[in-house]
Amino acid sequence: MRVFIVADSPPMRVGLENVLTAQGVKVAGSVSSVELLAGHLDQGEADVIVVDVSNEQLETVLRSIEQLDLASEAAIVLLAENNAPGWFVKIVRGGVGAVLPTRTSPEQLVAAMQAAMAGLIVMHRDQIDSNFPAARPASSAHAELPESLTAREREVLQLLASGLGNKEIAAGLTISEHTVKFHVASILGKLGAASRTEAVTLGIRHGLVLL
């Protein structure tokens, strides 16, 4: 496996070369920018291109990789730190085969290069949270109520959902209309509803109303 290194920082270039050489990887050369790669890859000198890039350079580097069609010349492995949502997808669509944080171990770097050469897409476990956030509840309406409805209030809400008025609800539950009005007001308050219709809608979303 022959590797070409791209890093703006001279110490980083030297460091990467030493790390890769210690892992038995042949370093074909190194340059300070992606633009300088063109003249070095004409003879197929590299199987993998390792690019160290800061967040400020990311857009420029991706544009250069695409313009120079580097992905057709070698597998691209990017060393970058970025927490912007969706950034990983954008990078791999630009032709990059692997994205790793700069603190990646030598063994992980070599494994990622081998995987990228095989046509696989690689990311570090530490980058998962920023690109694939934990699923949120389907709707905030399903969150628990600050105060739960009583058994009687659930009965009233169910009858409201059936389209019954206060008088009909009172007759069905054998209670006074005044008591029905009291329960309806309590239901509206607990559900945070402005009307009976909204209360029914929220009751359905909370699983309080059987359809």
Locate 21 and state its tokens.
């050489």
* pLDDT for residue 141: 44
- State which CATH number among 1.50.10.100, 3.40.50.2300, 3.40.50.300, 3.40.190.150 fits the domain covering 2-131: 3.40.50.2300
Q: In which residue ranges of the chain is CATH 3.40.50.2300 found?
A: 2-131
Residue 197: count of CB within 10 angstroms of its CB: 11
* pTM more than 0.75: no
DSSP 11-63: HHHHHHHHHHHHTT-EEEEEESSGGGGGGGSTT---SEEEEE--TTTHHHHHH
Q: Which amino acid is at 67?
A: Q
* pLDDT for residue 42: 63
* pLDDT for residue 68: 83
Quickly tell me which residue has 């991706």 as its tokens.
62
* pLDDT for residue 66: 86
Distance CA 161, CA 204 (A): 9
pLDDT, tens digit only, all 211 positions of the chain: 899 999 988 999 999 999 999 999 999 888 988 888 876 666 557 889 999 987 667 888 888 888 888 888 889 999 987 656 567 777 887 789 998 888 889 999 999 999 999 999 888 877 776 666 555 454 444 456 767 899 999 999 999 998 899 999 999 999 999 999 999 999 999 998 888 988 998 888 888 887 6
Q: Which fold has domain 140-205?
A: Arc Repressor Mutant, subunit A (1.10.10)
